[in-house]
Structure 1
Amino acid sequence: MTRPPEFHIGLWQEETPPGTLSEVIDQVGRAVAQAHAAGVALLVFPECYLTGYYRPSPDVHGIARTVSQGHLTRLSQIADETGVAFVIGAYQVTAQGVANAAHVFLPGSSAPLTYHKRALYGDWEKSVFTSGTGPLIFDYGGRRFGVLICFDVEFPELVREAASLGADTVLVPTALMAPEDDVADFLVPARAIENGISVVYANRIGAEQELTFIGKSQICGPHSSSRIVAAAGFRGLLHAPLTTEAAPIDYVKEVVAQGIPRRETTILKG
């Protein structure tokens, strides 16, 4: 297998800053500039970083409508000015309703690539968001990336789908709240190891309404030795080179392509 070139990746562990959306975007610009200074090629922000994640308001559509084309254009300019790609989430109005979206801004692109969360978590998400319908896979910097959002990564099928489509890294904006530490401690690294890929998991900290977010953002490689984790109270930039060590991804793809071998199964009944 040809190893991809070294690629420095980062995540931003923080809460949505107070202020207007324009002020939040100014903060995003400063974060991306800091990532650029650290040599980061691609930066991942937490789930719904632009709008806030948990807004139990009857006017969710109104919040989503505050994200204008002008705001998206300004974010594209930040990518162009810094040369840093980044993934950032927001509420988004669609023909079907409001989606929980992750926008991918690539330097030199006129418009973002957009993924809509498919696995909606809990009664509140299901009541305010419409589910996405498909994956997002894109090539950048000699790597192939997939995008998932928070609860999506807890389903092995969705991560395996990205790996089967050639992704060597899955980017996951996240809003994992207490007391769900087991997801960060066990499931996220398992998704990287079982698929022979990297997983970049960017979580919130702080609180919104009654929810408290636990941090533990992490960059996981296909082996446990390549995992780095942000402390729960850490704020700001965590970054590392994506691993180039040998991984079982060719075998994983082969198994996916061929299907799991069928065997005769005997079910014993007591």
Structure 2
Amino acid sequence: MKLKAALIQMKVVEGKEENLRTAERMLHQAASEGARLLVLPEMFNVPYDNSFFPEYAEEYPGKTTEFLRSKAMELDVYIAGGSIPEREGDRIYNTSYIFSPQGELIGKHRKAHLFDIDVKGGITFKESDVLSPGQESTLFDVDGIKVGLIICYDIRFPEFTRKLALGGAQVVLVPAAFNMITGPAHWHLSARARALDNQVYMLMCSQSRNMESSYTAYGHSLAAGPWGDLISELETDEGVLHVAIDTDRIEKVRNELPLLKHRREDLY
């Protein structure tokens, strides 16, 4: 089976309405160019900063999720809505919503691993000051192809992607916002390693680089293939990256190099 996906690398600014207008413009562009699965970046409706998350947070259904649902129906596409701050009771989650062309919510992923780091001389960030972690992994179907979704820091925990692969995932979406310290060091490496280890397509969707933001995203949205190869990538500006998914290639690689079959469950 084949699937055309598009990664939307958009600039995120202060102002939810402006971010939704940008997303709308780029969703329309991606759909008009033939993409069936459209992917937005992490926190696409809000600047990536703890100070903004409570203000922008929405309960479900809310303004942003209704926007995503209506666009999926209007454009007759699947939309993986990157992520937004989701409020439930007294908690806020970093949550991705996935809608079908019929406007159905077919998947929802709350970021399971919170980005709490302190790189001396580099960057300090603690999502857990504001956000709560999700408790589930996420799989859904897109035109008969099994797709998994994790969010940013989730990719650093190999067992999480492996669980998706063992659950049947052929494609794993990663809306993300790596920064200018972790991005150059680990962005490409993480994508290719998870793709190779699990023999899946890894689609990494970042915000574009905004040097005026308090948190500067790395950009470089990319696709890595089941051989661990880098298929294509954007640079740092806004853009749409189209990716051709071919499940026959996954089957070919898994037959030639049967890593998943060779796992020693008696040892580990």
TM-score by structure 2 length?
A: 0.86
> Residues 8 and 241 of structure 2 are in contact (CA less than 8 Å); yes or no, is this contact kept in structure 1?
yes
Shift of 1:211: 2.4
Shift of 1:113: 2.5
Report the counterpart of residue 173 of structure 2 in structure 1: 171
Q: Judging changes above 3 Å, is the alpha-carbon distance between structure 1 residues 70 and 187 closer, same or farther for their aligned structure 2 residues?
A: closer
Instruction: Tell me the distance in 1 between the aligned counterparts of 2:173 and 2:98.
Output: 10
- Name the larger-Rg structure: 1
1:221-252 Cα shifts (integer Å, max 9, x gaps)? 11244521212x23110112013322228934
| Aligned with 1:102 (options 90, 96, 114) | 96
What is the root-mean-square deviation of aligned Cα atoms in Å? 2.3
The percent identity for this pair of structures is 23
| Aligned with 2:78 (options 75, 85, 93) | 85
> Residues 144 and 167 of structure 1 are in contact (CA less than 8 Å); yes or no, is this contact kept in structure 2?
yes
TM-score by structure 1 length?
A: 0.85
> Residues 16 and 52 of structure 1 are in contact (CA less than 8 Å); yes or no, is this contact kept in structure 2?
yes
Shift of 1:160: 0.3
One-letter code of the match for 1:188?
A: A
Report the counterpart of residue 20 of structure 2 in structure 1: 25
Report the counterpart of residue 122 of structure 2 in structure 1: none
Instruction: Tell me the distance in 2 between the aligned counterparts of 1:113 and 1:248.
Output: 27
> Residues 8 and 41 of structure 2 are in contact (CA less than 8 Å); yes or no, is this contact kept in structure 1?
yes
Instruction: Tell me the distance in 2 between the aligned counterparts of 1:96 and 1:64.
Output: 11
Instruction: Tell me the distance in 2 between the aligned counterparts of 1:130 and 1:255.
Output: 36
> Residues 85 and 106 of structure 1 are in contact (CA less than 8 Å); yes or no, is this contact kept in structure 2?
yes
> Residues 202 and 225 of structure 2 are in contact (CA less than 8 Å); yes or no, is this contact kept in structure 1?
yes
Q: Judging changes above 3 Å, is the alpha-carbon distance between structure 1 residues 52 and 253 closer, same or farther for their aligned structure 2 residues?
A: same
Instruction: Tell me the distance in 2 between the aligned counterparts of 1:66 and 1:155.
Output: 28
Instruction: Tell me the distance in 2 between the aligned counterparts of 1:66 and 1:225.
Output: 39
Q: Judging changes above 3 Å, is the alpha-carbon distance between structure 1 residues 26 and 147 closer, same or farther for their aligned structure 2 residues?
A: same
Higher strand proportion, which one? 2
Instruction: Tell me the distance in 1 between the aligned counterparts of 2:20 and 2:200.
Output: 31
Aligned residues: 253
Matches within 5 A, 1:8-19: 8-19=4-15
Report the counterpart of residue 220 of structure 2 in structure 1: 216
Report the counterpart of residue 162 of structure 2 in structure 1: 160
Shift of 1:51: 2.1
Report the counterpart of residue 51 of structure 1 in structure 2: 46
Are residue 247 (structure 1) and residue 260 (structure 2) matched?
no
1:20-79 Cα shifts (integer Å, max 9, x gaps)? x3343232222111111111111111111012322435xx43321488624422321110
Shift of 1:186: 1.1
Unpaired runs of 5+ in structure 1? 264-270
> Residues 195 and 248 of structure 1 are in contact (CA less than 8 Å); yes or no, is this contact kept in structure 2?
no
Shift of 1:146: 0.5
Q: Judging changes above 3 Å, is the alpha-carbon distance between structure 1 residues 190 and 184 closer, same or farther for their aligned structure 2 residues?
A: same
| Aligned with 1:238 (options 236, 241, 250) | 241
One-letter code of the match for 1:237?
A: V
Q: Judging changes above 3 Å, is the alpha-carbon distance between structure 1 residues 129 and 108 closer, same or farther for their aligned structure 2 residues?
A: same
Query: Secondary structure, in 3 states, of the residue corresponding to 1:251?
Result: coil
Q: Judging changes above 3 Å, is the alpha-carbon distance between structure 1 residues 11 and 95 closer, same or farther for their aligned structure 2 residues?
A: same
1:168-205 Cα shifts (integer Å, max 9, x gaps)? 00001001001111221212111001110000001122
Q: Judging changes above 3 Å, is the alpha-carbon distance between structure 1 residues 139 and 96 closer, same or farther for their aligned structure 2 residues?
A: farther
